[in-house]
Structure 1
Amino acid sequence: MNGYNNNLCDYTEEQLHAELCYAELIMIRAILCLLSDETLTGKIGGLLRIRSCFSIYSGLYRFLKENEDNRNNSLLWQEFEAGVCFGFGLFNLLLASIPAKLAIFLQLAGLNGDKCSKFDGTLRSPFASFSILFYQLVVVAFIGVERIDLGLCERIFTKLNGKYSKGAIILFLRARYRLLNEGHIDESVQLYWRSIRSQSEYKQFHHICHWELAMTNIFLLHWTRAAWHTNKLYEESKWSKSIYAYLLAVCIEADKTGDMSKNREAVRILMSKVPENRIRIAGKSIPMEKFCEKRALRWLQMNNNKEDSGEPRKLFLPQFELIYLCSGFGLLNNYCCPWIVRLLLEFIDKEWEEFNKGATKSNNCVKAEQLLWLFLRAICLGKMGEFHESFGIFQKIIRSFSESPALRYGQYGYLFPCAHLELALILDEINPSELKKVVLLEKALAYKGYGLETRTRLRIHSAMNKLEECRKYGKS
């Protein structure tokens, strides 16, 4: 039985429900395939299953809309309706968050759509609840252009905690919630560890928790612990050894404990492995790996000068640059962790003072690093609610790029569109009705040819969607 060639009007309620169950099984199999099989063939197989699943859900949803007048109130029909709305709504929610540039490729595969509804107390409600929690606590935090609905998350957790309190997924989501809600970082770390220990079959889920723990420890400046979790990823995960090698190297370099000469040699070995471990999919490089390779090669170039017998040279704030580009600052949303942000701000300022000692002010490279320092400083101030000070710094960054166009094509060229985006988000906090936000986002969108462009465009697209929705609902 499948949703392609059969006339659904001829199906009994039991057959319709069987079709829905078939779609759900394909979805679960596709998710497991994408999580567990890290080969290109596995990813393609998973995407094809998702396409098949979406086609079935689309057919079932059309059938529902066409037969609204003939619906009955039987329990089986309610379960069927809830399952279809959940599946179709989930697909459309995710598709609505993807920029048009990427959506074109999904549309070629047969995936397109908008957004949908919910049903409480049905068989699918736990799965729907997990999906909403994942969207709020992971996707919204990752994109970082809107507030997480913590009240909704709290209500869902209250319903789920009784039955699923010891499950790996809910423990992971609760860990994120505790950190995002009130900054309970110690409790969050404990929950991540409980999630890891709750199952041993899917190591890939362990890796997600180790990534989160690495980010958390970097925020706390616990470099040894951050390096331990990153090393775990480097040794076990097949996703991107290039990125893990780079992150591990910069964490070890920041660690002032232990044998410094051994640490420096470990950093050198890891930096040399970053280019070696790069992978290509259909001949294309992963943008984040390409970024890490450029930074690693720069470190090697700075430290391979045999005539230089002085102190080892370091990249400037590479950990927090990478965290920003991986949307790690989304963990500090909702202004819940001011003490952590203050700690980061002090560290960033101290690193700039050390870096700036003896630097030639006319050096364009130093000027670029100053812009990175200002950018990260403005991000931290925004996370603390110091919007006006953050606003002024972002304006200064944009002016600097405008006055020195050569900086736009340098290693920190991505800061120019990102500063426009962050400035628009700050304006939204200061004055939600300010029309200048749209101009800033359009300027950010018009800028092209910089590193990690697709990732930034995803956030710009989401910010523009948010403004469009606010305009629409504000008028109605």
Structure 2
Amino acid sequence: MAHVKNGNIQKMDPEDPFLLVPDKMKSQMDLETALQDSAKALDLFLNNRFSDALVLLRPWFRKKTTMVEAITEMFYKQPADDLTEEEMHAELCYAEALLQKAALTFLDESMISFIKGGMKIRNSFLIYKECDVMSTMAKNQSDQMSTQTHFRSGVNMGIGSFNLYLSLLPSKVLRLLEWMGFSGDREVGLSQLREGAASNSLRSILSTLCLLMYHLYISVILGTGEANLEESDVLLEPYIEKFPNGALILFYQARIAVLKGNFEFAQKKFLECIAAQQEWRQIHHLCYWELMWSYSFQQDWLEAYQYADLLCKESKWSQAVYVFQKASILSMMPEEEVKKTGENVEQLFRQVESLRLRIAGKSIPTEKFAAKKAQRYSAATPVTLVIPAVEMIYVWNGFTIIGKRPELTESILVTIEKAEEQLKNDPNPSEYHVDNQCMVQMLKGLCLRHLGHLDQAQLCFTHVISSENRIKHDCYLVPYSMYELGLLYKQQGDLGKATTTIENAKLNYKGYSMESRLHFRIHAALNTMGTSVAKLPPHRTSA
């Protein structure tokens, strides 16, 4: 271990292979040594030695620009002509730092901070583009840089991640960003990141993590749920061998298992991930979140409650969502089990509104959805939510995961049909009665579709769509059901009908809960079918 004394990094353990460089030796640092030390820090990080990695990483260099040069660069740039090899790498590091700083800036709630964050992202992207030119020039020179592989992999990661993640945006937004100088080509992004991941360089792991995040989270939550698990396995395999106890590696192993429907193995790996280190508590919270869902998929509500409760107590990411989720899970449990927990479900639901966060005055969509649902418990006579935990599984696209396990899908269907029967026989229907019935029908249709009962599933979705004028509160049900109906037509092989139905869901409805999330899913679905949004009549506001 090491510690800082009088501004110098002191060596504590002479047997430690990761030798640290004192501050007074900064002047002796060169690019090769800096890259080697960075590789050591990365190994420390992946071996759960987070503090040691932080101590080792020190800022070394970036080209200092005079005011005259800065003004000149606004009008004319020669990116590689007057940069040394060290300065080229420093530009790359600066682009990465800008991107990270922008992410932190967005945590502030002021509009000025959002503008500053946007400018940092744009500057980061422009520097990456310059670095791309530098890399191409270096590749074409006879005396290539000895560190070219490391530099190129950084460019791959930056250009690749920008292209990939921007490509997720709906076409109208993407066209605006492209006009501003950004680019968002999915295939370019995947190609660049794959090249970076395969480069055996300092930043290979960063490209790998970007790809894993895309395959295992983004494409599931904001896409159709069709994750590329085969590539994810291949990407992660060498790191499993090198860092078998690394927390990040264990976490992604578990996430892959979740998406394969192997919840039992996933739960084991998440627990190993939690036990692997105690320093980075945020990783524990991610594991709690995943464990909560994996037990929910199995309808093991008591276990799911334990992890929802831990999130409420330890994580500050979104207390509104955590409390709503905990209350929803408790709602699925028998009354005698709820009493044993000592929780008051109605009180939990009533807390949700006060826990909401606002960024730049805007609500987080999932929190807004949860608060709107929880309002039913604030009335003088509370109205009970119907299978809310199952509804939240759908919000996070969990039915695409449960669908990998037919026996669990059947079990969820039984729960849904019980709720359907209770609503049918309700002697005192509330003002939410039609909304509840339609929500149950949509969830039933999802189960039936995943079980291959397409005709029955179609009846469920069309029932919701035909009930549009009678739905009073949960207006999201109609466009979402229309989207799911479109996916059903795709499953039947009728791409024309699928495209028209999904486009109608996008263009004909506005102002409902989680509208942006559905637009992301629609964008992904149309891309998988090789289509673009046709010019249909202007949208109309849903009831």
TM-score where L is the length of structure 2: 0.74
Aligned partner of 2:378 in structure 1 is 300
**Stretch moving more, 142-151 or 410-419:** 142-151
CA distance in 2, matches of 1:179, 1:285: 30
Alignment of 1:173-192 (within 5 A): 173-181=252-260, 183-192=261-270
C-alpha change, 1:147 and 1:326, in structure 2 (3 Å) is closer
Report the Cα offset of residue 429 of structure 1: 2.1
User: For 2:296, which of 218, 230, 236 is the aligned residue?
Assistant: 218
User: For 2:489, which of 402, 419, 427 is the aligned residue?
Assistant: 427
Q: Does 1:95 align with 2:169?
A: no
Flag the structure with higher helix content. 1
CA contact (8 A) 1:38 1:238 kept: no
Aligned partner of 1:308 in structure 2 is none
Aligned partner of 2:391 in structure 1 is 321
Alignment of 1:111-150 (within 5 A): 111-115=182-186, 116=188, 117=191, 118-119=194-195, 120-123=198-201, 124-145=203-224, 147-150=226-229
CA distance in 1, matches of 2:474, 2:298: 25
**Stretch moving more, 12-21 or 81-90:** 12-21
CA distance in 2, matches of 1:103, 1:191: 38
Alignment of 1:431-446 (within 5 A): 431=493, 434-446=495-507
CA distance in 1, matches of 2:173, 2:328: 32
CA contact (8 A) 2:434 2:470 kept: no
C-alpha change, 1:49 and 1:170, in structure 2 (3 Å) is farther
C-alpha change, 1:50 and 1:393, in structure 2 (3 Å) is same
Report the Cα offset of residue 436 of structure 1: 1.4
Alignment of 1:176-325 (within 5 A): 176-181=255-260, 183-256=261-334, 258=336, 266-301=344-379, 304-305=380-381, 314-325=384-395
C-alpha change, 1:393 and 1:253, in structure 2 (3 Å) is closer
Structure 2 segments unaligned to the other structure (5+ residues): 1-61, 534-543
Aligned partner of 2:520 in structure 1 is 458
Structure 1 segments unaligned to the other structure (5+ residues): 306-311, 472-476
C-alpha change, 1:283 and 1:82, in structure 2 (3 Å) is closer
C-alpha change, 1:137 and 1:368, in structure 2 (3 Å) is same
| Aligned partner of residue 256 in structure 2, secondary structure | helix
Report the Cα offset of residue 345 of structure 1: 1.0
Aligned partner of 2:230 in structure 1 is 151
Write the deviation string for residues 45-92 of structure 1: whole angstroms up to 9, x where unpaired. Answer: 766654443221122124445776547666522332232122201111
Q: How many residues align?
A: 450
TM-score where L is the length of structure 1: 0.84
| Aligned partner of residue 184 in structure 2, secondary structure | coil
CA contact (8 A) 1:424 1:438 kept: yes
CA distance in 2, matches of 1:186, 1:174: 13
C-alpha change, 1:80 and 1:218, in structure 2 (3 Å) is same
Letter in 1 for 2:465: I
Alignment of 1:9-24 (within 5 A): 9-10=80-81, 11-24=83-96
Write the deviation string for residues 169-222 of structure 1: whole angstroms up to 9, x where unpaired. Answer: 2212111211222x2211101111222222333322322221111111112222
Report the Cα offset of residue 13 of structure 1: 3.8
CA contact (8 A) 1:252 1:263 kept: no
User: For 2:241, which of 148, 162, 171 is the aligned residue?
Assistant: 162
| Aligned partner of residue 445 in structure 1, secondary structure | helix
Letter in 1 for 2:506: L
C-alpha change, 1:382 and 1:164, in structure 2 (3 Å) is farther
| Aligned partner of residue 468 in structure 1, secondary structure | coil
| Aligned partner of residue 199 in structure 2, secondary structure | coil
Letter in 1 for 2:322: Y
CA distance in 1, matches of 2:466, 2:142: 61
CA distance in 2, matches of 1:459, 1:390: 20
Aligned partner of 1:60 in structure 2 is 131
CA distance in 2, matches of 1:205, 1:109: 36
Letter in 2 for 1:246: F
Q: Percent identity?
A: 30
| Aligned partner of residue 435 in structure 1, secondary structure | helix
C-alpha change, 1:110 and 1:74, in structure 2 (3 Å) is closer
CA contact (8 A) 1:242 1:289 kept: yes
CA distance in 2, matches of 1:263, 1:465: 46
CA contact (8 A) 1:172 1:209 kept: yes
Aligned partner of 1:309 in structure 2 is none
CA distance in 1, matches of 2:226, 2:331: 34
User: For 2:464, which of 385, 393, 397 is the aligned residue?
Assistant: 397
CA contact (8 A) 2:331 2:388 kept: no
CA distance in 1, matches of 2:250, 2:207: 17
C-alpha change, 1:255 and 1:101, in structure 2 (3 Å) is farther
C-alpha change, 1:435 and 1:66, in structure 2 (3 Å) is farther
Aligned partner of 1:344 in structure 2 is 412
C-alpha change, 1:62 and 1:73, in structure 2 (3 Å) is closer
CA contact (8 A) 1:174 1:191 kept: yes
CA contact (8 A) 1:360 1:366 kept: no
**Stretch moving more, 119-128 or 251-260:** 251-260
Report the Cα offset of residue 273 of structure 1: 0.9
Rg larger in structure: 2
C-alpha change, 1:28 and 1:343, in structure 2 (3 Å) is same
Aligned partner of 1:376 in structure 2 is 443
C-alpha change, 1:470 and 1:461, in structure 2 (3 Å) is closer
CA distance in 2, matches of 1:127, 1:166: 18
CA contact (8 A) 2:109 2:358 kept: no
CA distance in 2, matches of 1:427, 1:337: 22
| Aligned partner of residue 495 in structure 2, secondary structure | coil
C-alpha change, 1:19 and 1:153, in structure 2 (3 Å) is same
Q: Does 1:82 align with 2:153?
A: yes
